[in-house]
Amino acid sequence: MLKVCGKTEGKGAGSVRVHNESTNHSVRAQIKKLFKKKQALPAEKFVAEERQTTATELLDASKAGAAAASGMAGSLEPSSPLYNWDSSTKDGMVSSQSERSGQSALNDRSDTRVPDVVSEVAATGVQLGQAKIPIDPSVHGDADVVDLVSVDAESSDGSAYDEEPEEEFDEQLELEDFKLISRIGEGAFSRVYRAIPQPNSSKSYLYRTFQQVAVKVINKQQLDSSHKDSKSKATSKEQVLKEVAIHRTVSASENVVSFVDFHESPNYYFIVQELLAGGEIFGEIVRLTYFSEDLSRHVIRQLALAVKHMHALGIVHRDIKPENLLFEPVDFIPSTTPVLRKSDDPRSKQDEGVFRPGVGGGGIGVVKLADFGLSKQIYSTNTKTPCGTVGYTAPEVVKDERYSMKVDMWGIGCVLYTVLCGFPPFYDEKIDVLTEKISKGEFTFLRPWWDEISEGARNAVRNLLEVDPAKRYDIDQFLADPWLNQYDCLRSQGLKHRNESSENVHTRAPKKKRKHNHLAFKRDSSLLYSPAAVAMRDAFEVNNALKREEESKRRTAPAGVNLGLLPEDEEMGLENDMFQLRLNSSTIIKRRKNKDDPIEVPPTLVE
């Protein structure tokens, strides 16, 4: 049985810690990573915790009985206290996050070379062991040249070059080629900045393609300390290089955030990427409560295209969640008569606006998948062998490789369910109950929130949240799903169905829309730290950690021989004691104490 304690801190993310006497290290390592992330974040971000009521309390308050069956619907239901949550505790990071701007270069790269990225990393010093991995100009095809001209024309006001940084950032001292402007995000060991390529630097050519970029800065000291005392064979540097190698490899898709550059300095690693000015889809779910079926399709189809691209390269993402889906904004066109569901509170439900096939809706245009820190190469398309399995090509192993990819299909299912109704398919405050629900695939289409959602959508969700990977949709089956390939707005107008492809999204959006003034994207992000938003993050993190564990267990040969892969713990290089709980600082524990809900805590977890 799994036991959990959690701590909610920092970037609004809750972390949930799982203990399972019989569980292997992998899930613990992943959850340790999550926890480390929360610990690494400044305490003031955590202030919202004091104001939180528990997800359960919200759930009780706003509805009740039915939710206990499987969801957290009550906590996220539009009329619930969640949406009246006092936002006065929001921190500075939130507003800077909402003040993004950027130019999506929308690369159409034709490079299909598929390096065995894991081997590349293992052979550090050959290609990836160098301090810098310059962008390969050959990777940028003609499409970029076209883009480059249009971007130049659009940026003739020169404003981006001249923009002053919001403050003096320490990291800037070790980075010459890009001017860091503002902080837009945060990860476990990283900070993400909006930045501008410098005109007179060796990277000035990038400005022509990427007027602005996102620079993920990884603090070496923080990362190394997580590896201290670890028996890990993979160094922290190797892990960063692996992320970079995978990102670079998968970057050629229009629905994957483009990799731009990598730079190593004495104290930091800098991963430079295309900037997605809208931010995370997560924030949009919180803002709009849920998406219409058309907008859900629009988002999920683009996610599916990114996943198809990765799977074709033998790479599995393994961390699909609304926080890792970024988007480019499009103009918002208000609805003439906003459509409300019966479960909506008309006072708080925001209008999603008019949906335009091939363009988007709710202000959401192009959607791209980000964060390859947990991605893994399963299959080498060069050697045609599963990675780490030299000479082991038994049919059941090949089948295993296919099943490994199904982790991402489950992730797509969770995101699809969530965007359609506004809360995740699996949730329970008790981690052992939650993990059991995930393992058994126990979810329901909770009333009244699902009452008006079509049978086609439900069918797609069922096929994605199928416990048996053999029966679960693969990416091609999902892309062919009838529900995914229709538009309600076209049908209702009696228009012929038109298939939206990611290409449509790019080409049909008016060009001028691609120049963004960051002030246009100021959004109220206060709800990102509400109890229900935190609970939603928790649910995805636990879900993804458990599914990764299942996937890695499956990749153990029948005889119990591991297929040449590092155990997840070692691969992630996290020390064991990080998993030990600090019970007093655990949010979930505190909440439970407050509710006089006795919790079972295994002795090994008590300090």
Ligand X SMILES: Nc1ncnc2c1ncn2[C@@H]1O[C@H](COP(=O)(O)OP(=O)(O)OP(=O)(O)O)[C@@H](O)[C@H]1O
Distance CA 351, CA 333 (A): 10
Find the shortest distance in angstroms from Cβ 33 to ligand X.
7
Pick the closer one to ligand X by CB: 55 or 215: 215
Residue 250: which of 148, 400, 145, 107 has the closest Cα?
107
- Among residues 116, 147, 261, 319, which one is catalytic? 319
Of 29, 128, 151, 257, which lies in the binding site for ligand X, with binding defined by CB under 6 A?
257
Give the nearest distance from C-beta 574 to ligand X in angstroms: 13
Report the DSSP beta bridge partners of residue 271: 216, 262
Ranges within 372-411 binding ligand X (CB under 6 A): 373
Under the binding rule (CB under 6 A), the answer on residue 371 touching ligand X is yes
Neighbours of 159 (CB within 10 A): 12
Q: What distance in Å separates the CA atoms of residue 587 and residue 590, rounded to the nearest whole number?
A: 5
Instruction: Tell me: does residue 364 bind ligand X (CB under 6 A).
Output: no
Residue with CB nearest ligand X?
187
- What are the Cα distances from residue 547, in Å, to 304, 407, 437, 440? 18, 6, 12, 12
For residues 599 and 46, what is the distance between their CA atoms, to the nearest angstrom?
A: 23
Give residues 317-346 in contact with ligand X (rule: CB under 6 A).
323, 326
319 is catalytic: yes
Nearest to 329 by CA among 270, 287, 371, 272: 287
Question: What is the size of the binding site for ligand X (CB under 6 A)?
Answer: 22
Among positions 208-247, residues that touch ligand X (CB under 6 A) are: 214, 216
CB of 22 to ligand X, least distance (A): 27
172 vs 222: CA distance, rounded Å: 18
- Write the burial class of residue 434 (CB in 10 Å: 0-12 exposed, 13-18 middle, 19+ buried): buried
**H helix or E strand, kind and range, residue 264:** strand 259-264
Binding mask 462-491 for ligand X (x = CB under 6 A): ------------------------------
Nearer to ligand X, 275 or 574 (CB): 275
What are the φ/ψ torsions at residue 222 (nearest 5 degrees)?
A: -60, -40
Toward ligand X, which CB reaches closer, 214 or 438? 214
Minimum distance from residue 517 beta carbon to ligand X (Å): 16
- Binding site annotation covers 308? no
Dihedral sign for Cα 21, 23, 25, 27, please.
negative
Among 391, 493, 363, which residue's Cα sits nearest to residue 100?
Answer: 363
CB of 340 to ligand X, least distance (A): 30
Applying CB under 6 A, among 133, 276, 420, 574 the residue interacting with ligand X is 276
Q: Compare residues 541 and 549 and give the one whose CB is closer to ligand X.
A: 541
Q: With binding defined as CB under 6 A, does residue 38 bind ligand X?
A: no
Which of 37, 349, 437, 592: binder of ligand X (CB under 6 A)?
A: 37
Helix axes 220-227, 236-250, angle to 10 degrees: 120
E strand intervals along 519-606: none
Alpha helices in 50-158 (DSSP H): 55-62, 65-70, 73-76, 92-97, 117-122, 142-154
Q: Does 94 sit near ligand X (CB under 6 A)?
A: no
Cβ-based nearer residue to ligand X, 279 or 361:
279
Question: Does residue 275 bind ligand X (CB under 6 A)?
Answer: yes
The least distance separating ligand X from the CB of residue 185, rounded to whole angstroms, comes to: 2
| In 442-566, alpha helices (H) | 455-464, 475-479, 488-492, 502-508, 531-554
CB of 191: closest distance to ligand X in angstroms? 8
Which residue in 52, 236, 273, 343 binds ligand X (CB under 6 A)? 273
Rule CB under 6 A: which of 141-200 touch ligand X?
Answer: 184-188, 190, 192
Residues that bind ligand X (CB under 6 A): 37, 184-188, 190, 192, 214, 216, 257, 273-276, 279-280, 323, 326, 370-371, 373
Q: Which residues are annotated as a binding site for ATP?
A: 216
Q: Which residues are annotated as a binding site?
A: 216
Tell me which residues are annotated as active site: 319
